[in-house]
Structure 1
Amino acid sequence: MIEILSPREVARARDTGALVGDILHTMKRQATVGTNLLEIDEWTKAMILEAGAESCYVDYAPSFGRGPFGHYICTAVNDAVLHGRPHDRVLADGDLLTLDLAVTLRGIAADAAISFIVGDARPVESVAMIETTERALAAGISAAGPGGRIGDISHAIGSVLSADGYPINTDFGGHGIGSTMHQDPHIANVGRAGRGHKLRPGLLLALEPWIMADTDQLITDTDGWTLKSATGCRTAHSEHTIAITDDGAEILTLPTV
């Protein structure tokens, strides 16, 4: 299903996106050395419920997961990159943490992710990976606009990732979003410009470049959910929800705090 939202629905999407951005910004500030991943999940739950919103994850049970996800935020550490299921783990100095969050507020969903280094350590390769995904995300957003194609976005993202020498996995990527979290069209992190679904004002897209340092192969953790690099290498992931507008693309998931 591909939804085209009305101007009133896009306005509601701005509220959802701001909530997602604010929660992620708050969790980044609170995720320090010694923080437990389960604490991050509890803090996220409290902010979602206080805002009168709903988690997109708690009851989420797609074919690739083992049962309902059961938590409010994805917490992926070091070699984990997608669908990181919170568990009893304390963060250490230098850990590379990815937080991925999707919520629904007044019937409209928004989805975003951030990667960052915990503590004072700054491993050079990890910092470079994060910066690559952020630049790829910016390139994908710049390529999005009315009359363009999904392939334009995929090509822009993939060009940045490839230029920096990272392998690209095509099993998981960006997606449409609206009244539900995951919708068509799929947005691969590599592609050919000029191909794919035509972009129209009112279309919401979650763009999410993610990489692993030395492989494009994923393995599933024993929790049945968390996807990790097959080689144990570090990973990074950046994501925003955008709305296609009459003259370009609007980022909806920027923090307001």
Structure 2
Amino acid sequence: MMAIELKDASFTYPNGYTAVEHLNLVIESGEKVGIVGQNGAGKTTAVKMMNGLHKPSGGDVIVDGVNTKEKTTAQISTYVGYVFQNPDDQIFNKSVIAEIEYMPRYLKMEEKEIKRRVERAVELTGIAKYLKKNPFDIPYSTRKFVAIAAILATETPYLILDEPTAGQDAEGIAILSRLIDALQAEGRSVITITHDMEFVADNFDRVVAMAQKHIIADGSARDIFWNEEVVSTSRIRKTAIGELAKELQIGERILYCDEMVEEIARRLGR
């Protein structure tokens, strides 16, 4: 089965703190999945188990039929790419181009293939004009795209983005949206941790809500954001339009501006 599977997976840190308990989740090829919940809910620990940075203390994590306990983190990273929230935790080369090329060169790919992968990663992230610069001499928001491009160049079937919209303006968020759609069109899965509910509603077919170390809901953005118990327990919020629709009592399960306009027009008989 081509999927990431968490089977009753738990993780306890060496100091005895249990971060997640009994997680059961399947993410299949080509899915776009947003993972939401308050800080401390266990989101980051859950995705780090998916790419082998953490090995489950209990249960199993299976990636395309491979148990992560049986492979090194480096081996699992060829299946599941992980982009850290802070690019400075990931970037270490002295030029943008060297950073993007690093893994393909480490894997001893042919020059033609390295060139193809780099060009594709640069195209998706829009960072062509920065290739010769030192990553630490460019803006933080652009540096985040350098970190993404470096992982894109490995062309893993699954990509995890940790808070990708943090520090991004509208243009950066638009690039992220196009990038996610392009990867899905190629049959690759994108899993994103984020507190940006508008970004979730606009870009993800499926939303997983976490709270208190557990998965508490799994469904569409509309199902998640209009379930008052899930919203309250996971301490997330609706989209701004959803909140306004609720306050004005002008429609059930509205998430988007065009839906609100349509509902208001309907009520006015237009």
TM-score range, shorter chain: under 0.3
Name the TM-score, length of structure 1 as normaliser: 0.27
- Structure exhibiting the larger radius of gyration computed from Cα positions: 2
Structure having the higher helix fraction is 2
Which structure carries more relative contact order (alpha carbon 8 Å, separation 6+)?
1
